[in-house]
């Protein structure tokens, strides 16, 4: 037992500081009735109801994944049927993410005011409306309106669902259940890619089914939530003590919830002291523990997106084409395989999160992500160095003004979005290659010459847009698989999971709104800048850059992310009581404040006298 140090940290408030492991040990030793009760509640079937709640809420995650994933396949058909310019294509893709960024920020306010349940009902209603608008759209303006609507739904769902699941879950299942939401996101992306593949064979209106099908899970969620309860923590915060106790007992399978109820209630009472006056965001910024939590939450979301997940996913079809897949339909199905890999490894995260904890999982994941990005970059670098030269200059007068014919190598040709590489093969060697302008209506073919009908294997003519034929494609493919295997269990789900648990109740809606907003803003930034970054730095430069950013993220996580596994939501806030860059340090240096009757005690370990 180490010595007890008294330290006044927060006025009118006393805390006992312990390491998280001490607290977990204490929980086991001294709170054994609680743990037994929780375990008992697990056996008494409460998880059944909690799983039902998690399932219906995570449909929000499914819709997030489906609606962000389905658009790439739908766009292939839409651009032909509606004759969309590349500006309109970009608009239709990015308006959803932009709207999600705005509505996730607004979602914080709505959550605080109307509660989690109303927000989830609102999001599923908006999803249904968006799906209907998209499926009946008869022009691009209506499509834009539908994509905007869907984005509003995604933003609200993305910040509300993890909070709701975290608040209704018992602490020993919380990590796993919130991570299931990300499993549903990646599941939604996978289902979207399968639906894209299936309806891409329809000559007309295939996109209506692709975009409209989201109404089914949205309506299911809406109906489900008409019967599901509000978060007991939100009810208690609003002073609805009777309903809060009823809901808590219902969620815990009817067992005695006195202790859990009391602990939430007393923590809300004490939070009133922390919370101070003024708008919530201001109070977060001026109250050190909440401010630190916000920095950690936003930082994690930022590094998730800066690690380039959406670029890698989006670019996977091209990566696979580089590996020799020439057939477009085949590329669509292989992109579905990529989405499936992402889903599968997120499942590994669900399995690991309560076993190894959030911190170790995130650390291992981000380090592996950085290493895989280097493998990807090395593959691109070798391909660029071995880039085939342009050997054939067609004598077509219509090409004289084109910049494409000025390039000497495939690498520089393919980095210009207006050009593509047209070539023949002699065994595995590239022959008679030229850089040609791309058909603006259909990037799968050149605007003129041999490749104006795209790749025609039977004629020995190949068209490469966005990539170059290379024998190093296996390294790139290896990098892609490693990337997903490392990213999906940790960096994919942990930013959402950790954010759902690190804020005190008074700051939870706003904290999650801000961090989700950061996620969406960085998502837009990375996807909109990727092509420009690739043009300036080349592909390998871009992936080396993402790798460097992931390494920075690693340093951030080492310094700042404390372990929250097994702790009650009410206990987690105190992990942020110390200077930020030590709160993530090993168990012995992490501190936990336990409030005791208005006192502010602090100890390194093993303090059990909660009075
Ligand atoms: O956690 C999710 C998940 O990793 C998805 O695959 C990705 O598309 C999202 O941007 C991310 O927030």
Per residue in 175-196, pLDDT tens? 999 999 999 999 999 999 999 9
Atom of ligand 1 nearest to the CA of 488: 4
**Nearest alpha carbon, ligand 1 atom 4:** 492
Conformational region of residue 351, where left means phi above 0, alpha means psi within -120 to 50, and beta covers everything else:
alpha
Query: CA 467: distance to chain centroid?
Result: 27
The pLDDT tens digits for 447-493 are 999 999 998 988 999 999 888 988 888 898 899 999 999 999 999 99
Kindly state the percentage of the chain with pLDDT values over 70: 85
269 Cα to the center of ligand 1, angstroms:
36
Q: How far apart are CA 523 and CA 306, in angstroms?
A: 8
**Which atom number of ligand 1 is nearest to the Cα of residue 523?**
10
Ligand 1 center from residue 491 Cα (angstroms): 9
Does residue 5 sit in helix, strand or coil? Answer: strand
Of 34 and 303, the one with more pLDDT: 303
Q: With cut-offs at 50, 70 and 90, classify the pLDDT of residue 274.
A: low
With a cut of 60, say whether residue 51 has pLDDT above it. yes
pLDDT of residue 45: 44
Q: Name the pLDDT band for 428 (thresholds 50, 70, 90).
A: confident
Mean pLDDT for all residues in the chain: 85
Q: Tell me, in angstroms, the distance from the centre of ligand 1 to residue 260's CA.
A: 33
Residue nearest atom 6 of ligand 1, based on CA coordinates: 186
Three-state secondary-structure class, residue 591: coil
* Atom 3 in ligand 1: residue holding the nearest Cα: 492
Task: For residue range 350-380, list pLDDT tens digits in order.
Answer: 999 999 999 999 999 999 999 999 999 999 9
- Give the separation between CA 196 and CA 198, rounded to whole angstroms: 6
Measure 498 CA to ligand 1 centroid, in angstroms.
15
| Entry pTM | 0.84
444 pLDDT above the threshold of 90 = no
Q: Return the higher-pLDDT residue of 559 and 200.
A: 559
* 7 pLDDT more than 90: no
Q: Is the dihedral of CA 536, 542, 544, 545 positive or negative?
A: positive
- CA-to-CA dists, residue 44 to 36, 176, 253, 419, angstroms: 12, 19, 6, 64
Q: Which residue ranges have their beta carbon within 6 Å of ligand 1? A: 182, 185-186, 189, 304, 309-310, 342, 492-493, 519, 523
- 309-322 vs 505-560: helix crossing angle, rounded to 10: 50
């Amino acid at each position: 037992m180490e010595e007890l140090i008294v330290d006044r940290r927060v006025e009118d408030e006393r805390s006992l500081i312990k390491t998280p492991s001490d607290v977990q040990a204490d929980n086991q030793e001294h709170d054994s009735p609680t743990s037994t009760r929780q375990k008992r509640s697990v056996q008494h079937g409460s998880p059944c109801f909690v799983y039902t709640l998690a399932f219906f809420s995570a449909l929000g995650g499914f819709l997030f994944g489906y609606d962000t994933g389905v658009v790439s396949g739908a766009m292939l058909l839409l651009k032909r049927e509606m004759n969309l310019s590349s500006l309109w294509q970009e608009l239709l893709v990015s308006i959803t993410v932009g709207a999600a960024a705005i509505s996730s920020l607004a979602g914080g306010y709505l959550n605080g005011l109307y509660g989690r349940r109303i927000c989830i009902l609102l999001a599923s209603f908006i999803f249904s409306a968006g799906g209907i608008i998209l499926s009946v759209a008869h022009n691009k303006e209506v499509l834009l309106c539908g994509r905007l609507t869907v984005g509003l739904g995604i933003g609200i769902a993305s910040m509300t669902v993890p909070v709701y699941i975290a608040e209704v879950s018992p602490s020993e299942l919380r990590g796993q259940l919130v991570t299931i939401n990300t499993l549903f996101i990646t599941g939604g992306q996978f289902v979207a890619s399968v639906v894209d593949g299936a309806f891409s064979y329809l000559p007309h209106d295939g996109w209506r089914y692709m975009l409209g099908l989201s109404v089914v899970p949205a309506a299911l969620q809406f109906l489900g939530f008409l019967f599901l309860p509000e978060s007991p923590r939100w009810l208690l915060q609003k002073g609805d003590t009777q309903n809060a106790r009823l809901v808590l007992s219902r969620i815990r399978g009817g067992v005695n919830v006195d202790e859990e109820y009391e602990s939430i209630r007393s923590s809300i009472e004490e939070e009133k002291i922390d919370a101070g006056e003024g708008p919530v965001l201001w109070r977060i910024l001026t109250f050190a523990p909440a401010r630190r939590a916000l920095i950690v939450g936003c930082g994690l979301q930022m590094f998730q997106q800066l690690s380039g997940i959406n670029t890698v996913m989006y670019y996977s079809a091209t990566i696979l084409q580089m590996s020799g897949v020439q057939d477009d339909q085949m590329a669509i199905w292989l992109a579905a395989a990529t989405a499936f890999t992402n889903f599968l490894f997120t499942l590994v995260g669900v399995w690991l999160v309560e076993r190894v904890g959030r911190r170790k999982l995130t650390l291992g994941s981000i380090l592996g992500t950085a290493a895989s990005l280097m493998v990807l970059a090395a593959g691109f670098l070798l391909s660029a160095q071995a880039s085939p030269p342009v050997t054939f200059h067609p004598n077509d007068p219509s090409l004289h003004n084109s910049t494409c014919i000025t390039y000497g190598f495939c690498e520089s040709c393919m980095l210009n979005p207006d050009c593509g590489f047209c070539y023949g093969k002699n065994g595995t060697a590239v022959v008679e290659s030229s850089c040609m302008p791309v058909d603006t209506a259909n990037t799968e073919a050149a605007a003129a010459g041999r490749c104006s009908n795209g790749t025609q294997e039977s004629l020995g003519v190949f068209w490469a847009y966005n990539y170059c034929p290379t024998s190093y494609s296996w390294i790139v493919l290896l990098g892609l698989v490693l990337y997903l295997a490392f990213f999906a269990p940790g960096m994919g789900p942990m930013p959402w999971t950790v954010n759902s648990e690190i804020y005190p109740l008074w700051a939870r809606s706003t904290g999650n709104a801000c961090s989700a907003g950061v996620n969406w803003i960085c998502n837009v930034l990375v996807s909109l800048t990727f092509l420009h970054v690739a043009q300036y730095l080349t592909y390998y430069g871009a992936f080396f850059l993402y790798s460097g950013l992931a390494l920075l993220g690693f340093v951030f996580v080492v310094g700042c992310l404390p372990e929250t596994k097994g702790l009650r939501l009410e206990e987690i806030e105190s992990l942020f009581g110390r200077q930020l860059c030590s709160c993530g340090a090993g168990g012995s240096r992490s501190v936990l404040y336990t409030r005791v009757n208005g006192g502010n005690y602090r100890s390194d370990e093993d303090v059990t006298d909660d009075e």
